[in-house]
Amino acid sequence: MKRREFLVGAAISATAAWAAPLRAVLAQDAVKRKTRLILLGTKGGPRVGGEGRKNPSTLLLINGVPYVVDCGYGTSQHLVRAGVPLNSVRNFFITHHHSDHNLEYGSVIYNGWATGLRTRVDAWGPPGLEKMTRAFFDYMQFDIDTRMDDEGRPDLRKLVFAHDFDKPGLVMQNEDVKVTAARVRHPPIEHAYAFRFDTADRSIVISGDTNYSPELIELARDADVLVHEILYMPGLEKLLSRVPNAAKLKEHIVASHTVPEDVGRVAAAAGVKTVVLTHFVPGDDPSITDEQWAEGVRKHFGGRIVVGKDLMEI
Residues that bind Zn ion (CB under 5 A): 44, 98, 100, 209
| 209 vs 284, beta carbon nearer Zn ion | 209
| 193 vs 197, beta carbon nearer Zn ion | 193
Q: Sort 157 into a burial class: Cβ within 10 Å, 0-12 / 13-18 / 19+.
A: middle
Q: How far is the CB of 44 from Zn ion (least distance, A)?
A: 5
Q: How far is the CB of 95 from Zn ion (least distance, A)?
A: 8
* Rounded CA separation 92/108 (Å): 10
The dihedral formed by the CA atoms of 103, 109, 114 and 119, expressed in degrees to the nearest 10: 180
| 35 vs 42, beta carbon nearer Zn ion | 42
Q: How far is the CB of 188 from Zn ion (least distance, A)?
A: 10
Q: How far is the CB of 9 from Zn ion (least distance, A)?
A: 46
| 188 vs 302, beta carbon nearer Zn ion | 188
Q: How far is the CB of 106 from Zn ion (least distance, A)?
A: 18
Q: Sort 22 into a burial class: Cβ within 10 Å, 0-12 / 13-18 / 19+.
A: exposed
Looking at residue 156, what DSSP letter applies?
A: G
| 44 vs 112, beta carbon nearer Zn ion | 44
